Amino acid sequence: MAEESQVMIGKKPVMNYVVACLTAFNSGAKRVVVKARGRSISRAVDVVELLRRAFLKDLNIEKIEIGTQEMSSPDRPKTNVSTIEISLAKKE
């Protein structure tokens, strides 16, 4: 198992991603990075808050970064979408 694991947040229920994070930590990941784009950003925050409050009391939010990603496709004009990355680690 790699030291760092990533969980990309999509449109599934919040609990699915909470379980994904728990599984990553239980498999030995030292850090889990929760990533989301656009409308899923709110859900990413929900996932981290639920994880921190209900499942892993010793969870530490190491870093929160926001950014912009350019989305381009032949079918539509270029658009910008906001992103978030929340780095989580268990307290030592």
Please report, as ranges, the residues that interact with a copy of itself according to CB under 8 A.
38-42, 45-46, 48-49, 53, 61, 64-68, 80, 82-84, 86
Work out how close the CB of 48 gets to a copy of itself at its nearest, in angstroms, rounded to a whole number. 6
Between residues 28 and 62, which has the closer beta carbon with respect to a copy of itself? 62
Between residues 12 and 39, which has the closer beta carbon with respect to a copy of itself? 39
81 by Cβ neighbours in 10 Å (0-12 / 13-18 / 19+) ranks as: middle
CA distance 32 to 90: 9
